[in-house]
A and B are shown apart, each in its own frame.
Chain A
Amino acid sequence: MLASAAWFIVVFAPLVGSAAALTSNTKGRAGRAVTLASAVAFVGALVLAVWTGRVAGGVVPTIGWLDASIDRVAALLLAVIMGTAAVVSGFSTRSLDDDGRTGMYFARIALVATGSAMVIAPATPVLLMLGWSMSGWALTGLVGFEVGWERARRAQRRIRRTLLVGDLALLGALVLAALRSDGLLTGRASTAVAELRGSTLLGVPTLDVVMVLVVMAGASRSALVPFHRWLIGTLTAPTPVSAIVHAGLVSGAGLILLRFASPFVQSDPAVILAFGLGLLTVVLASGAVLVRCDVKGALAWSTVSQMAFMVVQCSVGAFSSALFHIAGHGMYKASLFLGAGDTVSAGLRHRRRPAAPPGLAGPHRLVASAAIATLAVAVVGSAVRPDVAPAGQVLVFVFAWLTVASGTHGWLAASPFTPLTSMAVAAAGSTGLTATYVGGVRIVEHFVNPGFADVASSTVIGPLELSVALVVVVVPIVVVAVLPGELGVRGRDRARQLVVRLCATSPRISRPREADRNTITGTVFPHPPASNVQRSEIRADVSEASRVIAPQWPLASFVAVNPLGGLESLTFDDAAETARVWRGARTHLGLDEYRRDHDRGLTRAVDLGHAAHSRFPELCAEDAVVIDGRPTPVADVIVADLLHGPDLPPPARRPTALQRLGAAAASELIDEVMSSWLMSYVAPPKWPAHRPGESFTAMARRSMADDARLRPLLSAPIREWIASLGNDPASIIDAAFAVSRVPSDDRVGEARSLLCCLAGWSGLAKWRTDWALGDEERPALAPIDIVAVRALLEAGTIASGIASGSTEPKTPITLTADGQLEARVDAVARVLAPAGSDADRDAIRSVLARVPAQDRPSMWLAAQERALDARLVSMLDRLDPGQPIARPDAQLVFCIDVRSEGLRSHLEALGNVETIGFAGFFGVPMRIRKVGWEHPEARCPVLVSPAIGASEQPRHDHLQDVAAALLRERVVEGLTAAHSGAKYGPGGPFALAETAGWFTGPEAALRTFVRRASNPPAPSPTRILLDDHEVLLEQRTFFAESVLTTMGLTDRFAPLVVLCGHTSRTVNNPHATALECGACAGAAGDDNARAVAALLNSPDIRHGLAERGIDIPDGTWFGAAVHDTASDRVTLLDTADAPAEHRDRLDALRELLDQAGARQAAARAPHLPGPPARVRDRGADWAQVRPEWGLARNAAFLIGPRTMTAGIDFEGRAFLHSYDADADPTGRVLETIMTAPLVVGHWISAQYYFSTVDPEAFGAGNKLLHNPIGTTGVISGDAGDLRVGLPLQSTHVDGERFHQPVRLVAFIQADLATIERIIANNPILRTLTSGSWIRIAARSTAHERWSTRTPTGTWIETPRTFDPDPTLTPNREHP
């Protein structure tokens, strides 16, 4: 009875959680319910494990009608699946903490858990079948989490189809078993097996039929050949779903073979089938891992190979090994998936880590690794031997050997020790790991042995058969892998293509017979080769075309850019129109969204009226029209249209030549294939497609001949034609456009369309071309390569007769939809003339016909901006211009970043300190090399080239600490290499995953459930100093002078001046660098702060400054600090260098910073979902996809003395740059601020703007779907374009916008004539202001009114509100 109750609790607790999740409508409640239920089930499973462990025979009987007893196998597996479910639910609760509509998500997670539990501990065949189907069905639902995503829908269909086959097979097996026997699942199993053996079906023993069906069911669930393609599709579901799928559901084959172990081993056909499928899948999936460079893709294929390995284990009778594998691998994979976001920072760390001294040479390393592995296996094997079937023992020891050999091979390449020491360490480690593995298998085997008492005999696959099979499989692989010369290269290419083809999940396209193809010949081929002049023109045209694409920096150093930056020579409206046409992207909010904002008070009626007047001054100046018998001003009609007119249709992208022929599926296939090539090209996997030094075009051309995915598109003659072309992209474009019949005057347009098909990858190529010059290590990938390859694929497809018709470019689809006019008239008439006579409608139509529909979002935007400016002016005007603090205890210089604003206010309110806003690289564009780094890194805005080197130098009294830290780093690097060696080595991952999971699983639980505080960094044993050996004192003095003058600090020095850089310490976050300092190229600002502080403390520099008129008192000391914006903790750095007289001041300042940080965190808390008490720990939480808000809601850039802004709460929406016009008579300082920090501010503002208005085209979409590609970037799901911009979680919360998309406004307190002169002298500022990319408002002194500069260069008074208590955001709950 008690056992039955336990069974019920364990199996059905998640189901209760599932029901609770469905009925909960409070944020987080669904997640907590399922987490709790799974945790209860986990505890129950542990109790059962202990209980079964104490019972002789290992079986706890349940009450009669349940007809199933719980054995140790079931108890162990239940604990693993329920533990994973609890971790995944706990993780998801925080990952989805902003989403109030996740009930169904959590319910499905719980169903996967319960379904798996019903398979693990089935009471009856009916429950087994129900659990099996239910978990699959729930998974299919989870894959469709991202509604409206075609790729996910396609994956969903594939999964449904594949799992259905398995369901039917299992159903067939169970029905047949039930008809021909009694109780296959119960204690009477042996009788049932005998009965099944005795009967036949169509002459075949029923047992064989049943077990073959069971194997097929398992193969489908565990993604074995031929069902191997479905698992990769689950990557279209959020990350935690992958964790539970890979930890539990996909182990279906193992679960069911363990359950039917006894009949399985007695059916030779089933065993041989399972063994064959398993071995085949191991080979194929291991190859697939090597060709993937995306983290989740490699993990998914690795799971497929692991599942296949597990089936091989079962087929040789090593069931306890299989059990050890299911549990270990499940926990290992779950933690790897959940922590996939750490890839980028791990890659960055790897890049920065010191290289080890050269170790053993290649052949020696191989021999040493083999010897060490043999020694380890021999030592362990002589002491411990698992008591599994003999073939199982072969598996255990062979794979233990492979794992430690591969790991040792990796370790010996990167170990920091001498070869002898390295080998000794390797021998000890290998022996320890082998002992852990073999010991682990043995412990599990001893624990569960009673469960397999009746399958003690080995299966038809004995040690000999296994060894022969391994040799047959391994020898050809080794031969292909080591074959020298061109034959080897071609063989490996072929093998790679085979793997790619067999694992492809691209959309299917029916392939016409060669004879049926309508291949174009004669008129086009041969096309005369392009002349040099033509090629040059094509290059220039493609360059022009690529302006519609913004450069995309790799995620290792995220830089916010204006996505339409290449179009800045146009006005904002024209650039937006261009983006709508070519990118098919939204450039404004929808009218409905603007109206919702209007209802929240973000705009007022007067703003709308003003927007109408300024957009259509002549129209609005006309006489009023008579509507409903009343004279109605024209502007009112326009405003009524703004408020009530129908929204615009979504923009459509201008199609390419192939798309114009309607070949959507072919185009999609080309996108997919090209994406996979590009991915593999920029982040080469272990088995790369390109050869050293090969350009992307060359690699792609070669692949076009071989890539089987393209066979349906490219006929044999066309492939020959492609092979006959050279590798010059311009010549290829010339030939391809001739085939596609793209006229030369549309070359720019067509190239644009082609680039926009893969805008993300094109952006990366643009970054390489425009910003990463001189990086000679990288092979060529430029936008022209992408145009050439895609143009060639399209031309080849068209010429192969896949699509036919006219490819003539059509007029771009614009948003001027005349048909919409009547709908707009109707909508306005309903408001202004409810009676609605024809005359009224005519009057309305006469106005609206002159107001293009697509101008309405622009008017709304202008109205929002006007309202914002008005609120800002009213806030600034309320302040009495006071005097700066006479004698501050300290001056703190912060980055202009909007996140500094709140902290500065709190500091000023709490203490006698003055704060200054300045670019966060503190004016010294430097390139830093830290201890042990091989390559230096830039620490300055990307607009500037680093001008001076800096290095990290150990303090004299900490030399040993630094050396020890360096050694630690190198050891970690060596261990990482060992892990990587085992992970990718031949046969290495299997024993690795089995063993490692038992450690990483509990660690994942700790990371999920044990609260981690975000700790400040420990005091550094080093200093950061500018290089003085190569830069003259005079130049360093110049830097010091320019820093102080630009920040306006040339006198009135406080005794303590602290330069406070900022960082954002987050974990498991691919977009971590997007939260770092934009002025330091996506890195933390503390290095600059430390270097500049040291510079300003240098006696030589101070002497030079004094000669230039800047006297820093002897009693003034410059310190450095770093502000962690995720936790709002500020840490003072290098305080050990401070003279003794400053110690008390530093202590007081530290306390002040603590208080101010706490206040700032409390002020941020209400804007973030989740418990306010944990707001400071979000960065340290690996489940958190929104550790902080970054620069969201930024809106204004204020340039002036602090007296202009002090005491005003800008809600973290303002960049604050200190500036004193009186101290800058020539305007040089203002020019520097306007041409650099303001421009960077505009980039950031534009990045947030466009990521908000179109999170799919300009933003990176949902973070939970992100799949990192090395340190380059992320894709969504398992394939596709590189994601650009900011993730959804940086701009939106719970489906609502958090960021208010408006263009940046600069408020400058300076002489208007000076501002005008600076704008006139700097083309970049002329462009930004005349094109309405930014707005500028100014006043000469604090006593004057603010004026706004119009794009044409006149100044008009800035509007103001008459709100007695204006705030920047009218409704604080929302933007």
Chain B
Amino acid sequence: MTNWTGLTAMARIEVVIDGDHLPTIRDLLLSSGATGYTALRGVSGFGHGGEHEGRLLFNDRNSLSLLISVVPIERVDELVAGIRRVLNATAGVMFVSETHVSRPEYFMPSEEPG
């Protein structure tokens, strides 16, 4: 799907999650064919789970992280299904939105996972 600017529509998934669950989200992303992700560690804020401080001096693990990934839209269902399960058991949020990218081949899985 290409729009008039020549960009390709894809799905952007953002997840805010604690450090302990980070590897699970990473695994779900990669096993669902995501070709990469960006992680921002030590994000601070306030929300359903209360306050959370940002970066701690000597603890990278127990602060929250924001993971951002872009996947083809047809991959969203499976990713959402897995991440929703994870979020059933822990604090965190997930945002899914449409985004547009200039080099879609960067985000296309090279082969079927598994």
Contacts and interface: CB of A to CB of B under 8 A. Distances in A.
A1228 B114 CA distance: 46
Contacts of B81: 533, 536-537, 540
Contacts of A1358: none
Interface in A940-958: 941-945
Interface in A741-789: 769-770, 773, 782
Contacts of A731: 114
B56 interface: yes
Contact of B51 (A532, A569, A773, A1321): A1321
Nearest to A538: B82
Interface in B50-92: 50-53, 56-62, 64, 75, 77-79, 81-86, 89-91
Q: Decide if the interface of chain A is mainly helix, strand, loop or mixed.
A: helix
Contact of B58 (A541, A919, A1324, A1326): A919
B58 A943 contact: yes
Contact of A536 (B18, B23, B31): B31
A1320 B51 contact: yes
A543 B24 contact: yes
B89 A1042 contact: no
Contacts of A154: none
A925 B85 contact: no
A543 B86 contact: yes
A1235 B58 contact: yes
A1229 to B, nearest CB: 9
Interface in A905-946: 919, 923, 925, 941-945
Contacts of B83: 540
Contacts of B56: 1231-1232, 1235-1236, 1322
B55 to A, nearest CB: 11
B114 A941 contact: no
Given A537-B81, A543-B27, A544-B89, A943 B50 contact: no
Given A1236-B56, A1236-B58, A1322-B52, A539 B31 contact: yes
Nearest to A940: B58
A206 B112 CA distance: 73
- B28, B56, B64 pick with most chain A CB within 10 angstroms: B56
B62 A540 contact: no
Interface in A1294-1336: 1320-1324, 1326
A1251 interface: no
A818 B58 CA distance: 49
B27 A1323 contact: no
A792 to B, nearest CB: 15
Interface string A522-565: 00000000011101110111011000000000000000000000
A1038 B26 CA distance: 32
A535 B78 contact: yes
Interface residues of A, number: 45
Interface stretch (A683-691, A722-730, A1269-1277): A722-730
Given A532-B78, A539-B28, A1321-B51, A1232 B57 contact: yes
Interface in B81-114: 81-86, 89-91, 113-114
Contact of B52 (A536, A1228, A1323): A1323
A923 B52 contact: no
B58 A532 contact: no
Given A535-B114, A536-B81, A782 B57 contact: no
Nearest to B26: A773
A944 B89 contact: no
A770 B22 CA distance: 8
Contacts of B28: 536, 539-540
A944 B59 contact: yes
A1323 B85 contact: no
Nearest to B90: A569
Nearest to A543: B24
Contacts of A543: 21, 24, 27, 86
A566 interface: yes
A1046 interface: yes
A1324 B56 CA distance: 12
B62 A536 contact: no
Contacts of A540: 24, 28, 81-86
Interface residues of B, number: 38
Nearest to B113: A728
A923 B58 contact: yes
B90 to A, nearest CB: 7
Nearest to A1228: B57
- B56, B58, B81 pick with most chain A CB within 10 angstroms: B58
A536 B82 contact: yes
Contacts of A942: 61
A1239 interface: yes
B114 A1046 contact: no
Contacts of A941: 58
Contacts of A727: 114
Interface string A1020-1056: 0000000000000000000000100010000000000
Contacts of B21: 543
A727 B31 CA distance: 13
Contact of A1322 (B27, B32, B62): B62
A1323 B28 CA distance: 24
A537 B59 contact: no
Contacts of A544: 85-86, 89
A1237 interface: yes
Contacts of A726: 114
Contacts of B64: 1323
A531 B113 CA distance: 12
Contacts of B58: 919, 923, 925, 941, 943-944, 1232, 1235-1237
Contacts of A531: 78
Contacts of B49: 1323
Contact of B114 (A730, A1237, A1321, A1324): A730
A782 B27 contact: yes
Contacts of B75: 532
B89 A1235 contact: no
Contacts of B27: 539, 543, 769, 782
Contacts of B77: 532-533
- B23, B27, B57, B86 pick with most chain A CB within 10 angstroms: B57
A957 B31 CA distance: 55
Nearest to B56: A1235
Contact of B62 (A566, A769, A943): A943
Contacts of B50: 1320, 1323, 1326
A965 to B, nearest CB: 34
Which 9 residue pairs of A and B lie closest in terms of their CB atoms, listed nearest first?
A728-B114, A536-B82, A1236-B58, A540-B85, A1324-B62, A532-B78, A543-B24, A536-B78, A540-B82
29 contacts: A532-B77, A532-B78, A536-B31, A537-B85, A540-B28, A540-B84, A540-B86, A544-B85, A566-B20, A569-B89, A769-B27, A773-B23, A943-B58, A943-B61, A943-B62, A945-B60, A1231-B53, A1231-B56, A1235-B56, A1235-B58, A1235-B59, A1239-B59, A1320-B51, A1321-B51, A1321-B52, A1322-B52, A1322-B53, A1322-B56, A1323-B62
Interface of A: 531-533, 535-537, 539-541, 543-544, 566, 569, 726-728, 730-731, 769-770, 773, 782, 919, 923, 925, 941-945, 1042, 1046, 1228, 1231-1232, 1235-1237, 1239, 1320-1324, 1326
